[in-house]
Amino acid sequence: MSRIRWYGPTVILILTILIVMVMGPSIVQKIAWAQESAKVQFVRDQAAADPALAKLSDAFRNVAKIVEPSVVAIQVSAKASPRRITEDDAMRRFFGPRGWPQSPFDLPQDDGEDQSPQQEPGTQDYNRYNVPRAYANGSGWVYDEAGHIITNRHVVNGADVITVRFNDGSERTAKLVGEDDKTDIAVIKVDGARLIPAQLAKEPVEQGDIVFAFGSPFRFEFSMSQGIVSAKGRQLHIVADGRGYENFIQTDAAINPGNSGGPLTNIQGDVVGMNTAIASRTGANNGLGFAIPIEMVAPVVDQIIKTGKVTRGYLGIYIDDLDPKMAESFGFKDHGVLVNSLIDGGPAEKAGIKSGDIITKIDGKDVRAAEELRRRVSNYEPGRKVDIELFRAGKTQRMQAVVAELPASVQRASTDSADRGGEAKPSDKVMDYLRRAGIENVTDFTAELAQRRKVELTPGVLVTQVRPGSDAADKGIRPGSVIVEVMDTRIKTVDELTTALTSLDMSKPVRLSVSEGGVKRFVLLEVPQ
């Protein structure tokens, strides 16, 4: 009996331990599941009862209801092969291929060759009898009740037929009213009534604002994406081959091919910009979308509607941003824009502005960047008088200029390679300095060399060879550049260049004035010792 009394509790204990070992994990899991389930239900009940979340969702829905009746899908067609329609390289590299397949899941079969027959000179162009073929798509939005629709120039450029599809499924053919290559903005127009215009925002967006991008990405028409304003004032140097006017809004709202021309709106459904570009290695959204701000779109559109073209103000100056080191070389320590050179007979030259001046204010407002000054002057009407404050030779000066109309074309700098030649050589010390900077060879720029290169003679020292990867190459000096000043000393020959450099401490940055095609700019050489 004693053995039974001794082993009985032990057996019970062992059985209990075995039961706990077998059943315990399951019980623990059930308890944990019950606790997690209760927690999820509690949070779900809280979310369902949270008026802020419901209001946010309602606000997003309302934006869609407000904006979508004004959004259009645009299809462009051409009678000639789409590959014959030209576009500048910068836009093509940024946007990728213009044409997209009829279905987003069908890949185009492209052998890279233009199948259109070559047109013989002087013969009739029979392409005009071809059936228009769709080759690209984009987006747009209704600007007014008269039927004007806004989109990007790169969407409709080169089209023979522009077809606009509205959110209700109806289609209309549009005609081109006008386009502006310097901002990538175009205005098209459809006939008929009952259009619902989008409303323009009264205030610019700010970094962090919630925004919505509308359009037809990859032909998925009337899509909507949401994000924030990531940044403002971006310059991409893609419009008009880098010579356009840019002030992009950056957003992480999804923008893809086909979104171009669609509206970017705020949380109230007001248009704050026009979707224009993406930065992507794949051609699809990577969180870097760009839109033209509405305060830049509206003045251009209004001019196109009124006159069919865009007129811009012009001072006739070549300008550059002013970094602290360059400013120090002029004895200047504040913000401003550096005047590199002037157009002969232009408004700035008539007003007394000179190369090397630093413009600090225009009409009483500070100027901090060259692109900012370009945009502000371009918005002035020709004939307007503007007050300019500038820094020259250690003093602040004020003068007045009369804005002229920007001509269709402005002289650009020549990039032709220069002839090597000439007998004049810098001293060994100066030549060593120039070579460390990357300028391998220089010569007097003579009338004979100018005639040979078919350019106007600019007395100075001609750069004939530049080492790739050097400081000079990095600063844009190239064969054909003509050095005309060293710091504030005018030079015309290699001997004068030698004298000017020898008088300086060449271990410190040296400012050169360089002429290219008659257009001067300043370069600050910083030679490693």
Could you identify the residue written with the tokens 């209001």? 55
Assess whether pLDDT exceeds 80 at residue 78.
yes
Assess whether pLDDT exceeds 70 at residue 419.
no
pLDDT given for residue 81 in this prediction:
54
Which member of 70, 139, 148, 154 is catalytic? 154
pLDDT digits (tens, 9 = 90+) for 163-198: 999 999 999 999 999 999 999 999 999 997 789 999
pLDDT given for residue 529 in this prediction:
66
Q: How far is CA 290 from CA 228, 235, 238, 302, in A?
A: 12, 10, 12, 22
Q: How far apart are CA 56 and CA 33, in angstroms?
A: 32
Assess whether pLDDT exceeds 80 at residue 444.
yes
Q: How far apart are CA 487 and CA 491, in angstroms?
A: 10
Q: Is 223 a catalytic residue?
A: no
Enumerate the β-bridge partners of residue 361.
366, 389
462 closest CA partner among 470, 471, 448, 474: 448
What percentage of the chain reaches a pLDDT higher than 70? 83
Strands (E), 351-417: 358-362, 365-366, 385-392, 395-402, 404-405
* Least confident interval from 202-206, 285-289, 299-303: 285-289
- On the CB side of 414, CA atoms within 13 Å amount to 18
pLDDT digits (tens, 9 = 90+) for 214-232: 999 988 999 999 999 999 9
Which member of 230, 260, 378, 414 is catalytic? 260
Three-state DSSP state, 514: strand
Assess whether pLDDT exceeds 50 at residue 110.
no
Q: Is pLDDT larger for residue 492 or for residue 36?
A: 492
Q: Is pLDDT larger for residue 492 or for residue 527?
A: 492
Contact between residue 264 and residue 272 where contact means Cβ atoms under 8 Å apart: yes
Which member of 184, 252, 270, 357 is catalytic? 184
Which positions ≥6 away from 129 have C-beta within 8 Å? 79
Assess whether pLDDT exceeds 60 at residue 96.
no
Q: How high does pLDDT run on average in the chain? A: 84
Q: Is 260 a catalytic residue?
A: yes
pLDDT digits (tens, 9 = 90+) for 119-151: 555 556 666 667 777 778 899 999 999 999 999
Q: Is 154 a catalytic residue?
A: yes
Instruction: Report pTM.
Output: 0.74
Assess whether pLDDT exceeds 50 at residue 109.
no
What percentage of the chain reaches a pLDDT higher than 90? 56
